Amino acid sequence: ATGIDVTGTVVADGLTVVGSGSNIRYDVASSNPHTNPILHLENQNTTDGNVASLMLSADNANGVGGSAYIYAQSETANQKGNLVFAREDGANTPTTSMKLSSNGDISFYEDTGTTAKLTWDASAESLNFADNGKATFGAGDLQIYHDGSHSYISDAGQGDLRISGSSLVDIKC
């Protein structure tokens, strides 16, 4: 009724874990698994759907900062096959940092993990910055951005801002 305990080594041809909330856990220190690095493989049936995940925890399996997640989504048809990279926010909530979509798009999220601020659109072969997202070059000397109303090329560095080409067309002031 309580399972089995094995002292020594187990060699098996395979491993099947069955049941609601099933997971496989490898703890560095089995005496207290919540204060040591942990590798956690899990298949969850969440309110958002099925999620297979790999959690790496530097100090705690229950979400005290230091955990990172890689998980595959299968919630809806347009999310199947997405691979999400997330970090622990310290309150048992994974916060999305980056998503690799099954269609080849790549999205980078802001600090709350709710809005993609930089996206590679694979089908259009274009890199898209959200409003106020800046492409910064050098030590912040050159910035290119759009604030939702106006577009900017800002050169705060030393030296000249040079634009060159065989001809410059449609320059309006």
The model's pLDDT over 10-56, given as tens digits with 9 standing for 90+, comes to: 888 877 766 655 556 655 555 554 555 566 676 666 555 566 777 77
Regarding predicted confidence, which is higher, 133 or 24? Answer: 133
Phi-psi region of 21 (alpha: psi -120 to 50; beta: other; left: phi over 0): left
* Residue count of the chain: 173
Cα distances (angstroms) measured from residue 93 to each of 41, 90, 119, 140: 17, 7, 23, 33
Report pLDDT digits (tens) over 58-109. Answer: 655 444 556 788 878 765 555 667 888 888 766 667 788 999 988 899 999 9
Task: Return d(Cα 45, Cα 41) in angstroms, integer.
Answer: 14
C-alpha separations of 10 from 4, 6, 7, 32, 96 in Å? 12, 8, 9, 21, 37
- The pLDDT value recorded for residue 22 is 57
CA nearest neighbour of 38 among 53, 54, 51, 22: 54
Residue 1 to residues 4, 11, 17, 19, Cα–Cα distance (Å): 9, 23, 16, 15
